[in-house]
Amino acid sequence: MWAVETNPRLRRLSLRNDAETVVFALNASRGNKAYDRLASLHRDLRKLRAETAESARVRRIKEINRRLRQYVFYPCVGLEAGYEGRFGVIALSDSGFFPAPANQLAVTEADAALSLARLNAMGDLEKVRLCEVCRERWLAASHSNYRFCSKECRERFEQSKPDYHQRKARNQREYRENLKRKQAAEDAALSKGRKSR
């Protein structure tokens, strides 16, 4: 095995792909056993990071590795129409296959487990998180302040704050005042331009 140091740009691309793979698999498999296994693996990897006692860390690592052994990969060449001659790595078992739209790659449970392990190894497991509002959909958070899976969840969060209506009214008032000032300045500039002719 060779260790290759990647440049920061390539590392960011890899992290983004891994995080999106995991998020796609978790959201697509919601309600079945594959979801339970992946969510449990994510939870245990997070607990491993928080573990302080060496003996507890060793126990948790052994348990995680035992569960990861179910995923076996091998290289393959694609034969489907449009994919001839393409090379990749697929999981040995066909279980846990998540169909993807025609213009995207399909993701298996094993792909998601491998992505979780890579994210953990790079210290970026927190990039995959559950939406703070709906607690149902997962998101790939490129920044630490990304907390919501959709615009609707973000708005629902804002609306749940006690001062939401006061802030909204104040913002609208300030917006209208700024609009009036801007319009008055434009009118003054136009009338000044007419007088100078």
| 156 belongs to a structural domain | no
Residues 31-59 have pLDDT tens digits of: 999 999 999 999 999 999 888 899 999 99
Is there a single domain that holds both residue 13 and residue 86?
Answer: yes
91-100, 102-111, 140-149: which range is least confident on average? 91-100
DSSP 7: P
| 20 belongs to a structural domain | yes
Please tell me the distance from the alpha carbon of residue 141 to that of residue 28, in angstroms, as a whole number.
18
Please report, for residues 172, 184, 195, the alpha-carbon distance to residue 9 in angstroms, rounded to integers and kept in the order given.
Answer: 41, 48, 57
Which residue range is the domain that position 58 belongs to? 8-149
Comparing C-alpha atoms, which of 47, 44, 46 is closest to residue 64? 44
Mean per-residue pLDDT, 158-165? 83
Total domains present in the chain:
2
Is there a single domain that holds both residue 25 and residue 45?
Answer: yes
